[in-house]
């Protein structure tokens, strides 16, 4: 950004970023006029990490060891991270059984419900609805004596303005950029690396910067079979 002129910088109105203060400070030096938006992917990632951290701690407290194949919480670790709408009847039953046996104090269940509230936040119809859900999220995270959920709530409060900006910027996200970056890596891997940068750049432009018009191939008319008398 330091190499760009002021006119170029002024054209940037929205910046989506990770919830890392160093990034925000660096952007603020050159783009103080831009609206900062915390990418929703990273907030969901953080709350999923909360579930894993609580599950591992409760597992250690209850069994005295890390999760093993037959441990009830370990067996439902992936179900805990699934969206509620993606669980079928069997999944709900497995999840309920695992929490009943492995989570006697309800700490993992509380973290799991916090995850669901966080997902509801990004389903909000507008910023007012989102603000109400955010208040519920913070209250729920602080209601229990669970250090992991309290830390998550503290992070959310620090970034509240940037989280709510998601709803005033049309859902700004780094998702499209990350998709292009993945494509770039795939091209480099497919080409077994490129020693000539110009060729590499051309290959990327052909893949990412050109809208190809694919014409359907003309259908060849089959020759009629010759009849043999």
Give pLDDT tens digits for 17-37. 999 999 899 899 999 999 999
Q: Is residue 125 part of a domain?
A: yes
Same domain assignment for residues 81 and 115? yes
pLDDT of residue 11: 92
Instruction: Please give the pLDDT value at position 176.
Output: 84
Angstrom distance (rounded) from CA 151 to CA 156: 9
Residue 141 lies in a domain: yes
> In this predicted model, what pLDDT tens digit does every residue of 140-180 receive, in sequence order?
999 888 999 999 999 999 999 999 999 999 999 988 888 88
pLDDT value, residue 16: 92
78 confidence band (pLDDT: 50, 70, 90):
very high
Domain boundary among 128, 161, 194: 161
Alpha helices, DSSP H, located in 85-174: 89-102, 107-121, 127-143, 147-158, 160-164
Mean pLDDT for the stretch of residues 127-139? 96
In the predicted model, what is the mean pLDDT of residues 202-222? 70
Based on the domain organization, do 62 and 112 belong to the same domain? yes
Instruction: List residues bridging with 38 in a β-sheet.
Output: 17
Same domain, 58 and 145: yes
Q: Are residues 59 and 117 in the same domain?
A: yes
Instruction: Report the pLDDT value the prediction gives residue 183, as an integer from 0 to 100.
Output: 86
Let me know whether 144 and 51 are in one domain: yes
Is 2 within a domain? no
Residue that the structure tokens 């194949």 belong to: 69
Alpha carbon distance 41, 168 (integer Å): 17
Split into its structural domains, the chain has a count of: 2
* Domain co-membership, 105 together with 138: yes
* 105 falls within a domain: yes
Average pLDDT of the residues in 97-113: 95
The answer to whether residues 114 and 149 touch, using CB atoms and an 8 Å cutoff, is: yes
Within this chain, do residues 147 and 185 fall inside the same structural domain, yes or no? no
Q: Are residues 132 and 203 in the same domain?
A: no
Structural domain including 189 reads 175-208
Q: Are residues 181 and 137 in the same domain?
A: no
* Same-domain status, 189 and 111: no
In this structure, the answer to whether residues 133 and 88 fall within a common structural domain is yes
Q: What span, in angstroms and rounded, lies between the C-alpha atoms of 179 and 5?
A: 27
């Amino acid at each position: 950004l330091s190499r760009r002129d002021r006119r170029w910088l002024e054209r940037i109105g929205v910046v989506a970023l990770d919830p890392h203060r160093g990034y925000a400070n660096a952007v603020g030096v050159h783009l103080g006029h831009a609206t900062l938006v915390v990418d929703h992917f990273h907030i969901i990632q953080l709350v999923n990490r909360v579930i894993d951290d609580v599950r591992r701690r409760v597992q250690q407290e209850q069994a005295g060891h890390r999760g093993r194949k037959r441990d009830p919480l370990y067996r439902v670790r992936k179900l805990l991270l699934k969206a509620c709408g993606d669980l079928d009847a069997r999944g709900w039953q497995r999840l309920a059984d695992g929490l009943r046996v492995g989570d006697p104090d309800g700490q993992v269940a509380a973290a799991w419900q916090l995850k669901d509230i966080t997902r509801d936040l990004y389903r909000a119809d507008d910023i007012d609805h989102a603000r109400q859900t955010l208040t519920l999220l913070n209250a729920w995270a602080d209601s229990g004596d669970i250090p992991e959920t309290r830390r998550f709530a503290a992070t959310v409060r620090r970034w509240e303005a940037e989280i709510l900006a998601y709803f005033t910027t049309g859902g700004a996200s780094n998702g499209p950029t990350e998709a292009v970056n993945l494509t770039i890596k795939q091209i480099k891997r497919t080409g077994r690396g490129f020693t000539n940068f110009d060729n590499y750049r051309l290959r990327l432009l052909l893949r990412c910067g050109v809208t190809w018009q694919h014409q359907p191939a003309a259908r060849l008319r089959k020759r009629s079979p010759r009849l043999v008398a």
